[in-house]
């Protein structure tokens, strides 16, 4: 699948990139998330990199007829209508597994928001795993992982470091990329 996905990306004029070293566990930030096309390219990049990443998505996506397929593709349903302890559940999941990567869109949507939700940060910090900075750069036609960051616990300093990595990485619709600042 790696070769096929890399070949498809190449045919489309894209390439998958990532640092040479990969930790066994990470919370992967998927930013910017501005288009439905992000999922298509992200799946090809995931396969091309051989990344066994799971991803969180709103639970309404997991209804029949495609719900079971999405789960087999690594999907983890999230009820965003009420607090369910998702951060704590995923931190426990990290503790139980030898390898685990979970992709989260900190904006929570493809549309423009005032900033980022902190769940990915709280999850990575609680699980003591690095944050992988995932991206889709439509200008350069590449996607993958920019870097792995170990969080310090200083939310503002860590977010500033994250923002520096994304400074020149536009999404498909840059006007919908939410500013990298905390909502909560």
Encode pLDDT of 65-79 as tens digits.
888 888 887 777 777
Cβ-Cβ contacts under 8 Å for 184 (sequence gap 6 or more): 117, 118
Interval 135-139 mean pLDDT: 94
Q: Is residue 182 part of a domain?
A: no
Q: Is residue 57 part of a domain?
A: yes
Q: Is residue 181 part of a domain?
A: no
Q: Is residue 15 part of a domain?
A: yes
Model pTM above 0.85:
yes
Domain that holds residue 133: 2-176
What is the C-alpha to C-alpha distance for residues 151 and 70, in angstroms, rounded to an integer?
A: 30
Q: Is residue 143 part of a domain?
A: yes
What is the predicted pLDDT for the residue at 157?
A: 98
CA 56 remoteness from chain centre: 9
Number of domains in the chain: 1
Q: Give the phi and the psi of residue 11 in degrees, each rounded to 5.
A: -60, -30
Tokens of 13: 């004029």
What is the predicted pLDDT for the residue at 125?
A: 96
Task: Judge whether residue 80 has pLDDT over 70.
Answer: no
Q: Is residue 67 part of a domain?
A: yes
Q: Is residue 161 part of a domain?
A: yes
């Amino acid at each position: 699948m790696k070769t096929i996905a890399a070949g498809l990306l190449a045919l489309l004029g894209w390439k998958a990139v990532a640092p040479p070293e990969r930790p066994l566990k990470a919370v992967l930030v998927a930013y910017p998330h501005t288009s439905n096309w992000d999922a298509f390219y992200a799946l090809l990049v995931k396969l091309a990199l051989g990344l066994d990443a799971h991803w969180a998505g709103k639970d309404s996506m997991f209804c029949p007829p495609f719900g079971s397929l999405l789960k087999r593709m690594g999907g983890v349903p999230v009820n965003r209508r009420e607090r369910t302890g998702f951060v704590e559940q995923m931190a426990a999941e990290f503790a139980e597994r030898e390898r685990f990567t979970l992709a989260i869109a900190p904006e929570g949507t493809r549309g423009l928001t005032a900033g980022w939700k902190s769940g990915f940060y709280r999850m990575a910090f609680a699980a003591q795993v690095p944050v992988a900075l995932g991206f889709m750069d439509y200008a350069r036609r590449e996607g993958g992982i920019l870097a792995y960051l170990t969080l310090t616990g200083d939310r503002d300093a860590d977010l500033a470091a994250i923002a520096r990595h994304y400074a020149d990485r536009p999404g498909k619709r840059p006007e919908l990329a939410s500013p990298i600042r905390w909502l909560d």
